Amino acid sequence: MMEEQARIMQALSGVTLAGHSVQGGMGLPPPHGHEGTDGDGRKQDIGDILHQIMTITDQSLDEAQAKKHGLNCHRMKPALFSVLCEIKEKTGLSIRGAQEQDPPDPQLMRLDNMLLAEGVSGPEKGGGSAAAAAAAAAAGGGAENSIEHSDYRAKLTQIRQIYHTELEKYEQACNEFTTHVMNLLREQSRTRPISPKEIERMVGIIHRKFSSIQMQLKQSTCEAVMILRSRFLDARRKRRNFSKQATEILNEYFYSHLSNPYPSEEAKEELAKKCSITVSQVSDQAGSRRVVSNWFGNKRIRYKKNIGKFQEEANLYAAKTAVTATHAVAAAIHNSQANSPTTPNSGSSASFSLPNSGDMFMSMQSLNGASYQGAQVGANVQSQGDTIRHAISQTVGYNDGLRHPMYSPHSLNGNGGWHGAPTPSSVTSPNEGPGSVHSDTSN
DNA sequence: ACTTATGATTTCTG
DNA sequence: CAGAAATCATAAGT
């Protein structure tokens, strides 16, 4: 502080009359002479100077420059200067006191966090094209959502680039402006006292201003990202039919667990994996499981609503699984011939406690006119459990007295699950006919 | 253009 | 909260 003052003084003395450096004390008017004529003249003089100073801004540049020079050379200048120093010293305290620490703006923090989370402000994650290629390569077969994903990434990269450019621009402008102001202040410091604190404050103000501009940038960037995101989400929300393969897998599971088509979370996950329903997006896990849940929810209700319509499909998948099951069982039996085949477990996933093939068989019969060539399909139509037993009974001669493999009228309704399971018998003709009840009264 | 299929969402329910 | 049921909105088939 002291040396700064000294510096300013020095600079000043270089400009003004060399001899008149201010002597240590306050630069008040010299005490000699009473409040007489001399004093009045001086007062007048000072008032004049002040007036000039105050009006200097109203004048043209040249004029002002000239006036400034004049003032600089004025004999009273050193005195005034030190007075100003005094005043500043005092007011400076209050300013300093009033200067609150800028609180870390929560809004800005929020934006920063979001930008970081969105990968806009974070480190560059591989070039767009490279990333896209990687994504495409990774996905292999069903890469359609990866393509979308890379599209998204590309757009995000674009946003990021703009953001960074703008940010840099602002930064640069801020620096430029700061140096400019600093120079200005330095220049002015010859005329008026400027403490480093003041400069600091000035710089602080400038920075704050610029950061508020930056905040706007960040905000609009955030908005852009949000829009992009939502548009993407919408695009994803748009119905995309699953791949043939996926529906196949799901249907397989559904029909082979017809008596209890409620896959466990575990099973859902597995199914999701199998179907490569990697519907990216956050929570690949929960998300894909939800997708599977949706599918089963829809399937259950729609199946129940109009069994007839699903008959063909049911037969198809039942037959399919039956075949695989038979093979599996055959293999199993082959492997463990010694073991008593008390628990015929199929290789496929776990627990279908009470497979009641009755559903299918019966409802198939109840199909309106065009009954599906009964016997043959009927045999195949049995769901896994029965098929297995059947196969076993044929192969090994194992037969628990469960029920007739071919014809089991009322499924043991013991299986509570799948409650609404339309009792086949009552279904006689679940309103079939031409205008079958639209499941959805759409719109 | 209209209908059907189908994935998702919303609302309701136990 | 999971699942049923209703509903929405779009894809796909005609």
Say how far apart CA A352 and CA A359 lie, in whole Å: 14
Reported confidence tier of residue A261, pLDDT bands at 50, 70, 90: very high
Q: CA–C1' distance A242–C11 (Å)? A: 11
Reported confidence tier of residue A236, pLDDT bands at 50, 70, 90: low
Q: In Å, how far are A160, A164, A224, A235, A278 from A128, measured between CA atoms? A: 11, 16, 18, 20, 21
Q: Look at residue A394 in the predicted model and tell me its pLDDT.
A: 38
The more confidently predicted of residues A346 and A260 is A260
Strand C nucleotides, any atom under 7 Å from protein beta carbons: they are 2-12
Give the angle A148-A150-A155 at the CA atoms, nearest 5°: 95
The more confidently predicted of residues A166 and A334 is A166
Query: Is the C-beta atom of A247 closer than 7 angstroms to strand B?
Result: yes
Q: Look at residue A330 in the predicted model and tell me its pLDDT.
A: 66
Query: Is the C-beta atom of A240 closer than 7 angstroms to strand B?
Result: yes
% of chain A beyond a pLDDT of 70: 48
**Top-confidence range, A5-19, A103-117, A215-229, A237-251:** A237-251
**Top-confidence range, A164-173, A235-244, A363-372:** A164-173
Q: Look at residue A79 in the predicted model and tell me its pLDDT.
A: 76
Query: Is the C-beta atom of A437 closer than 7 angstroms to strand C?
Result: no
Q: What is the mean pLDDT of residues A26-48?
A: 54
| Alpha-carbon A24 to chain mean position | 65
The more confidently predicted of residues A83 and A308 is A308
**Which positions 304-323 on chain A have a beta carbon less than 7 angstroms from any atom of strand C?**
304
Least confident range from A168-177, A207-216, A370-379, A419-428: namely A370-379
Query: Is the C-beta atom of A298 closer than 7 angstroms to strand B?
Result: yes
| Alpha-carbon A140 to chain mean position | 25
The more confidently predicted of residues A26 and A259 is A259
Reported confidence tier of residue A420, pLDDT bands at 50, 70, 90: low
The more confidently predicted of residues A101 and A217 is A217
Q: Residue A237: which nucleotide is closest by CA–C1'?
A: B8
Q: What is the mean pLDDT of residues A18-33?
A: 41
pTM equals 0.46
DSSP characters over A183-208:
HHHHHHTTTS---HHHHHHHHHHHHH
Q: CA–C1' distance A294–C6 (Å)? A: 14
Q: CA–C1' distance A396–C5 (Å)? A: 46
pLDDT in tens, A50-105: 787 677 777 777 877 777 777 677 777 777 767 766 776 776 555 555 555 667 77
Q: CA–C1' distance A239–C2 (Å)? A: 23
**Top-confidence range, A16-20, A318-322, A326-330:** A318-322
Q: CA–C1' distance A435–B2 (Å)? A: 15
DSSP characters over A278-338:
---SS-HHHHHHHHHHHHHHHHHHHHHHTHHHHHHHHHHHHHHHHHHHHHHHHHHHHHTSS
Smallest CA-to-CA distance from A146 within A240, A246, A249 is with: A240
Q: Residue A261: which nucleotide is closest by CA–C1'?
A: C3
* pLDDT of A354 above 50: no
Q: CA–C1' distance A120–C9 (Å)? A: 33
* pLDDT of A9 above 50: no
Query: Is the C-beta atom of A327 closer than 7 angstroms to strand C?
Result: no
As a whole number, the mean pLDDT across chain A is 64
Q: Look at residue A263 in the predicted model and tell me its pLDDT.
A: 94
Reported confidence tier of residue A168, pLDDT bands at 50, 70, 90: very high
Q: Look at residue A298 in the predicted model and tell me its pLDDT.
A: 95
Q: What is the mean pLDDT of residues A246-254?
A: 91
Strand B nucleotides, any atom under 7 Å from protein beta carbons: they are 4-9
Least confident range from A176-180, A259-263, A354-358: namely A354-358
Smallest CA–C1' distance to C2, residue: A293
Residues 6+ apart with CB under 8 A from A80: A27, A46, A49
The more confidently predicted of residues A19 and A176 is A176
pLDDT in tens, A99-136: 556 677 788 888 888 788 777 877 765 444 444 444 44
Q: CA–C1' distance A81–C11 (Å)? A: 82
Q: What is the mean pLDDT of residues A407-428?
A: 46
**Which positions 194-233 on chain A have a beta carbon less than 7 angstroms from any atom of strand C?**
none
Q: Residue A295: which nucleotide is closest by CA–C1'?
A: B7
Q: CA–C1' distance A249–C14 (Å)? A: 28
Q: CA–C1' distance A246–C2 (Å)? A: 23
Reported confidence tier of residue A412, pLDDT bands at 50, 70, 90: very low
pLDDT in tens, A362-383: 444 443 333 333 333 333 333 4
> What is residue A29's DSSP assignment?
P
Q: Look at residue A443 in the predicted model and tell me its pLDDT.
A: 38
Query: Is the C-beta atom of A300 closer than 7 angstroms to strand B?
Result: no
Query: Is the C-beta atom of A438 closer than 7 angstroms to strand C?
Result: no
Query: Is the C-beta atom of A301 closer than 7 angstroms to strand C?
Result: yes
Query: Is the C-beta atom of A240 closer than 7 angstroms to strand C?
Result: yes
Say how far apart CA A4 and CA A233 lie, in whole Å: 61
